[in-house]
Structure 1
Amino acid sequence: MDGTIGVILSGGQSRRMGRDKAGVMLAGRTLLDRMAAELAPLFGEVYVSVDRPGRYPGYRELADLRPGQGPLAGLEAAFLRTGAEAVFLAAVDLPFAGASLAARILAEAGAADACVIRRRSGEAEPLFALYRRGCLEPLTACLNEGRRAVKALLDRVDCRWLEEDDLPELDLERALWNVNTGAELCRAAEAAGEK
């Protein structure tokens, strides 16, 4: 999609993991390297959203304008620091989320401000999703109000909900498996075929 960039959210404080999630190794590559490799074929530019510059040499970094304010701050910086018309956000701690799922989200977005997967449980998956520039004003308002949850933004924009049942060919349990703790990393390593 022209004018769309990929932005990898680098994982914030990683308190539950106890170390920088982006640098965690899985199947011989860091989580950051895995996600960057998946997004690169789809987007002309792939950036890493960081709270402070200089964290990931060799990657194009987008430093938050509001460090410590979470994913919405990363999305705000992506729009304000680039000329992108749309941003595909991808959390670094989704080691099995790949290009096929991202491409499906792009294809299904239509003209909506955002395109987000909604699970059968009703839970949204806003950290592997597409956001258009029309989100900038409402997301800035959310941040100014101290509302940091992405759900606050989704309540204010035209969101194309991509229902889990619309994606029967994709294994969403695996693709959207979030790795936040050492125990979850061990399970992900087993799923990736590591001992």
Structure 2
Amino acid sequence: MDVVNVMLAGGASRRFGEPKASYMYQGKPLYEHVKKQLLKRQTVIISHPSLLTFFKERGERDVWLDDEQVRGYGPLAGMYTAMQNKEAAWYLVTACDMPFIRRETAEALSSYCSEHVDAIIPLVQGRLQPLFALYHHRCLPAIDACLKENQLAMKDLIQKLKVRIVSEEELNATPNEFRNINKRNDLPENGMI
């Protein structure tokens, strides 16, 4: 299956107080905890401008800023940039602040890819998880429309797509996997990821 991992690391990290992607946790940057658990495919990182040098120094080759016309428009801008610049059928989109995800969950999610749906999104504890989800390339026109209409919430995009919702039970996932890190105290001090 033709899939590219897309890690979104372009946010301002205001609540965290510093860029989350580069925050050192258990001996390595937070983004590396996430990247290690993605599908064994190419990973494209959509970066905040302040992190470009950091990622290059870490040996990352596929690091891009959002396209200029959509820069600062949130996750949809990152998805748009990835789909415009990297050809693939499917994109596993994830945030850089989800260090508890497991590769097994990503693989289980990818098993639901079908020509009959535009997106595969987990439902965990009654909440959709659109920032650990698969999106088909044919979502690009809907993403473009949302950006042009200034509808920047993920729910705005989801309403325009044919979505396969997959429960945490179907994925054999735990709710903890989908926890994102907004503040330093969201990270367990002594627990292993």
**Which residue of the other structure, out of 52, 68, 71, is the alignment partner of 1:54?**
52
Runs of at least 5 residues in structure 2 that lack an aligned partner in the other structure? none
Which one of the candidate residues 135, 147, 150 is aligned to 2:151? 147
- Which residue of 165, 173, 176 corresponds with 1:170? 173
Q: CA deviation at 1:150?
A: 1.0
Mapped contact 1:64–1:73 kept (Cα < 8 A):
yes
Q: How does 1:55-70 map to 2 (within 5 A)?
A: 55=53, 56-57=55-56, 58-59=59-60, 60-65=62-67, 66-70=70-74
RMSD: 1.7
User: Is the Cα contact below 8 Å between 1:12 and 1:70 reproduced in 2?
Assistant: yes
Aligned to 1:16: 15
The answer to whether 1:190 aligns with 2:187 is no
Q: What TM-score results when the alignment is normalised by the length of structure 2?
A: 0.89
1:84-134 Cα distance to aligned partner (Å, 9 max, x none): 22211111101111211111110023221100001232x110011100111
Amino acid at match of 2:80: E
Q: CA deviation at 1:11?
A: 4.8
1:79 maps to what in 2? 83
Shift of 1:54: 2.5
Alignment of 1:13-162 (within 5 A): 13-39=12-38, 42-43=40-41, 45-52=42-49, 54-55=52-53, 56-57=55-56, 58-59=59-60, 60-65=62-67, 66-111=70-115, 112-121=117-126, 123-162=127-166
Aligned residues: 185
Residues in 1 aligned to 2:100 and 2:23: alpha-carbon distance in whole angstroms:
14
Separation in 1, partners of 2:64, 2:107? 23
Aligned residue for 2:185, secondary structure, equals helix
5+ residue gaps, structure 1: none
State the distance in 1 between where 2:15 and 2:113 align: 33
Structure 1 counterpart of 2:110, one-letter code: L
What TM-score, normalized to structure 1? 0.88
SS in 1 for 2:37: helix
